[in-house]
Every structure is written in C-alpha cells, then in structure tokens.
Amino acid sequence: MIIFMTGGTGNIGQYVTKALLARGHHIRLLTRTPERVPAYLTMENVEVIGGNMNNLQVLEDSLQGCDAVIHIALGWGNDPVEMLDNDTRVTAFLLNAAEKAGVKNFIYTSSTAAMGPLRSGMDETALRMPTDLYGSTKAASELYLLGFRQYYSRQGGYGDKVTMRRNVIRPGYTYSNPAVPGGASQSDVRFKKIAEAIVNNEDLSFSLNDGTQFLSSRQIAQLYVKLVESDLDEEIFFALSRNFVSWHDIACAAKEMMPESTSRIIATDEEGEHSYYCVDKMQRVFGLSFDAWEDMREHIAWNLERAKAAKAGEKLHGVVHEWSGE
C-alpha cells in the first residue's frame, strides 16, 4: 500500500512510519525540513517530499497514486481565523483532493481536546464540547471528515457520493523518545523538570490526582496500522491507555531509577477517585489494550540521561519539532 503521511517526522508520525514500514507499506512522507531527519532519506520504501501543509499544490500532487492518507500534522494559529486557515482548511482540502485522486482510506488525527472536559466513562459517542481553539479546530475537522459523504450538484441537491473511507483517531496525552536519529520527541516539560530535579537533588511536590491515561507513540502506532489496513468507515477511536498514571507516580519512578539522588517526592493531597476515558472500543474492534507503564519507564530513563548530560555540559540534540507556517 502507498500511504501519504503528514507529520511523519513528528512525535506520533515517526513511530507510525516505522510500524507501517515493518508491515511492508510504502510511505510518501511530507516534511518541511527533509534534512532534519536524514535517516528517512536513506530508508527503503520511504519517499520524502519537501513541503509545507499550506502548499496545497504539493499536497495535491503528492496524493496521486496513493492508496491511503494518514493526516497527523498539526496546523497552528493564534486566533480563530489562523487556526481555521492553517488546520481545518488544510484538512478539508486534503480530504477533497484525496477523494479526487482515488485514495481509498483517510485517517485523521484529532484529539481528546475535541471533546472538552473529561466526563468519567466518556466514550467516542459523547458530545463534542471543546473549550479552546485547538479543541474547536479538531472538532470542526472531524465534522468535515464525517460529513463528507457526497458532493452537491446545486443548492439543496446532492451530487456524486464519496467512495473514500474516512476514520478518526483521538489521541490523549502521547509521548515519545526519538524513533530515529534526528527524530522528534513530545516530552511534556514536566518530564524534563522532574528529571532535572532528581539529577540536581531537588525536592518535588505533586497532587496525587494530576495525571492521565498516558500512551506512547510506539503504542498508538499499532492503532494506526490496524485502522489503515481495515475496511472500516466513519469510525472514531480514542487512543489512550487503560490505566491512570499521575505525575507523582512518574516522579517516584524517576527517583527509584536514581537512588543516589537525595530528592524527596512529596504528595500535596490524598488520592481521590479518578475519571477515565472509556477505551473499550479499541479493544473490542482491534484487540488493542495498552498499559501506560509499558513504555513509560523507558521515557523517564531517557529524560534522566538527558538531564545528566545537560548537567555535565554536553550539547543536546533538539527534539521538539514545532509547527511553522513558512
């Protein structure tokens, strides 16, 4: 299968690329900085295309001959119009261009932010109630994707039906170590600060209730592979682990990995009852159920090593790939 992917060098995309290559697929990867991840330039079955998501002609040309699209890249803006232009508009264009190019399957990467505040037990059928522009952008793009069932022939009259399958993945808190040299890492600044505090023997304090259903990019990549190889249409999947992990838990794990540290990990309250997203659908449909701790310790250790290297004065590789409108 030839798969066009946006965001393939980023946090989630690098692991999706890796997982799809392991399945024998050919990846056509759009990136604005091809030289940043030179490993992709020499990989078999990877075609690197230099370009920005706002270059619509590049998007249209890149879709020719593709079987599927996996749209992961984020477009950003500082106000409603910029967010609409840089993300939702691009997604709508990509949907239309993919259908016209004969693409069979389109996967859109949304976010739990499209749903707004977590209501315990909330599943994929819950109402979208975003509370910020990012969540609103994701919710709007979802609706464009799901509503794109056919064209109009005139005002009030339906035209040709859409044949392309369209599905949505909603990640929650996703993190990663770089998958390849030069790759990105989505590592919340709290991972970094915890590691630095432990390395520098500083005390840390956290609420026992501040946390989430973390999922690593390696884990979420399995859902992308299952979905792109399926015949499903107009489905939405939450992509989170089944268990809650607090930042206090993460700090304690970091301290255990570095027992020589004199840091104290202090709980600021008592643990209460946690709210959970329901991730039953992912397990029911694809047999996927993830433990948040499966990759978490490796990520904590990675941050500790970087903190030690920084303390020793070593130059560190920049791992944050931010959106750019250029």
pLDDT tens digits along 37-49: 788 888 899 999 9
- Give the domain range for residue 223: 2-173+217-239
In the chain, the number of structural domains is 2
Instruction: Mark whether 20 and 65 lie in a shared domain.
Output: yes
Q: Is residue 322 part of a domain?
A: no
Give one DSSP letter per residue of 27-50, joined into a string: EEEEES-GGG-GGGGG-TTEEEEE
203 and 263 both lie in a single domain: yes
For residue 326, being part of any structural domain is answered with: no
Judge whether 19 lies within some domain: yes
Residues 152 and 283 in one domain: no
Residues 8 and 86 in one domain: yes
On whether both 92 and 196 belong to a single domain, the answer is no
Q: What is the pLDDT of residue 8?
A: 87
Same domain assignment for residues 80 and 26: yes
Q: Are residues 145 and 283 part of one domain?
A: no
CA dihedral 233, 239, 242, 246 (to 10 degrees): -160
Q: Identify the pLDDT of residue 75.
A: 92
Query: Chain centroid to CA 311: how far?
Result: 30
Give the pLDDT of residue 33. 79
pLDDT at 247: 97
pLDDT of residue 180: 82
Residue with tokens 């250029």: 326
Residues 66 and 166 in one domain: yes
Per-residue CA distances from 232 to 60, 165, 168 (Å): 24, 7, 11
Whether 317 maps to a domain, the answer reads no
Is residue 206 located within the same domain as residue 222?
no
In a domain, 159, yes or no: yes
Residue 187 lies in a domain: yes
| Closest by Cα among 94, 209, 74 to 135 | 74
Q: How many CB atoms lie within 10 A of CB 125?
A: 8
- Say what the pLDDT of residue 320 is: 61
> 324 lies in a domain?
no
Residue 148 sits in the same domain as residue 263: no
The domain that contains 51 carries what CATH number?
3.40.50.720
Regions of the chain short of the pLDDT cut 70 = 186-187, 317-326
Residues with Cβ within 8 Å of residue 203, at least 6 apart in sequence: 197, 263, 264, 265, 266
**15 contact partners, CB below 8 Å, separation of at least 6:** 176, 179, 216, 217, 218, 220, 221
CA triple 140-141-145, angle to 5 deg? 120
The counts of H helices and E strands in the chain are 10, 15
Do 192 and 224 fall into the same domain? no
pLDDT at residue 318, as a whole number: 67
Same domain assignment for residues 79 and 221:
yes
- Residue 316 within any structural domain of the chain: no
User: What does the alpha-carbon distance between residue 310 and residue 306 come to, in Å, rounded to a whole number?
Assistant: 6
